[in-house]
Amino acid sequence: MTVLIINADADYYCQQLARACPGADLRAAATPEAAWEHVEGAHAIMAFASALSPGLIARAHGLEWLQALSSGVDGMLDLCAGRPDIAITSTRGVQGPAVAEMAFVHMLALARDVPRLAANQRRAVWERYPQPLLHGKTVVIVGTGAIAGELAGRCRAFGMSVHGVSAVPRPIPGFDRVHDRRDLAQAAALADFMVLLVPLSDETRHLVDARILAAMKPDAILVNLARGGVCDEAAVLRALREGRLGGAGMDVFETEPLPADHPLWTADRVFVTPHLGGESDRYADQVLPILRANLAAFLQGRPQDLRNLVR
């Protein structure tokens, strides 16, 4: 079985996986361009969706399994819409610490207006102004999966009240209350901070739209760490311009990379990061346990044991 790994760290992944699964024919491609040399004979591919293309998938005639190196797989599902025979798995759960910390980057940057402080530093301006606390505030986390649980624990450590929003509401440790997704507007009205952590699907596309934004407090802060399509960016910009939203932290976008002329780059009270939520300096080692387990299951003909199987 030939397994193609497309990633800047592909050589490292191959070295580590070869120790656990010595029978695997592992091929490394540091770039998507380098993958074309190996893809025709590949039975499995490990990559981020951004490294794949319709042409690459079409050329992989014997492809049986796609292992996403991310928790989200919407891009891979789109690429493989015409190939229902291809199993798709994710690395869901391992990005929890990284995404939770990025949520705090956005919440603190906007609450304390860090861009203003940075601009003052560059101009040598000594300006003091009140610094709002996270302590005592309410955070509404839209999504209650593993990553949301990581964030909830950190929010509680900051002294915040933590509410979750789920399509299947039930009591969940770490959350003060979990709301039904159908009641998102009511939950949004409680939020000082609302953090989006749901997968993109037909049900969640533009989940946060003009109606939900209108329900939020005018000084509330929205943080999108889910997928760009979960949030109506045009509605967010309107709410900011009209003073109906206190700030927006955006790590994911409907079009990526975010075009240079997109108004989110220059809008007031917007903090932009280039889809860094799941990135960390230890990412490869964090995902390797899932890759090892899934590679072993695949090589041994145990598809029922693939972890984080999406389809």
Residue 220 belongs to domain with CATH number: 3.40.50.720
Instruction: State the pLDDT at residue 23.
Output: 86
Question: What's the structural domain count of the chain?
Answer: 2
- For residue 159 the two structure tokens come to 């002294």
- For residue 293 the two structure tokens come to 């387990």
Sign of CA dihedral 215, 216, 217, 219: negative
Is 105 in the same domain as 20? no
The reply to whether 311 belongs to the active site is no
- Beta bridge partner(s), residue 6: 29, 47
Question: Of the residues 154, 181, 227, 233, which is catalytic?
Answer: 227
Print pLDDT tens along the chain (311 aa): 999 999 999 999 999 999 999 989 999 999 999 999 999 999 999 999 999 999 999 999 999 999 999 988 999 999 999 999 999 999 998 999 999 999 999 999 999 999 999 999 999 999 999 999 999 999 999 999 999 999 999 999 999 999 999 999 999 999 999 999 999 999 999 999 999 999 999 999 999 999 999 999 999 999 999 999 999 999 999 999 999 999 999 999 999 999 999 999 999 999 999 999 999 999 999 999 999 999 999 999 999 999 999 99
- Beta bridge partner(s), residue 271: 249
Domain annotation covers residue 119: yes
Question: Of the residues 33, 203, 242, 256, which is catalytic?
Answer: 256
Question: Of the residues 27, 154, 179, 275, which is catalytic?
Answer: 275
Domain annotation covers residue 281: no
Is 266 in the same domain as 227? yes
The reply to whether 275 belongs to the active site is yes
Q: Which domain holds residue 144?
A: 96-272
How far CA 303 is from CA of 5, 21, 57, in Å, comes to 19, 16, 20
Instruction: State the pLDDT at residue 93.
Output: 87
Is 137 in the same domain as 230? yes
Is 56 in the same domain as 44? yes
Is 219 in the same domain as 293? no
Helix (H, G, I), strand (E, B) or coil at 105: helix
Q: Radius of gyration over alpha carbons of the chain, in Å?
A: 21
Is 23 in the same domain as 149? no
Is 81 in the same domain as 100? no
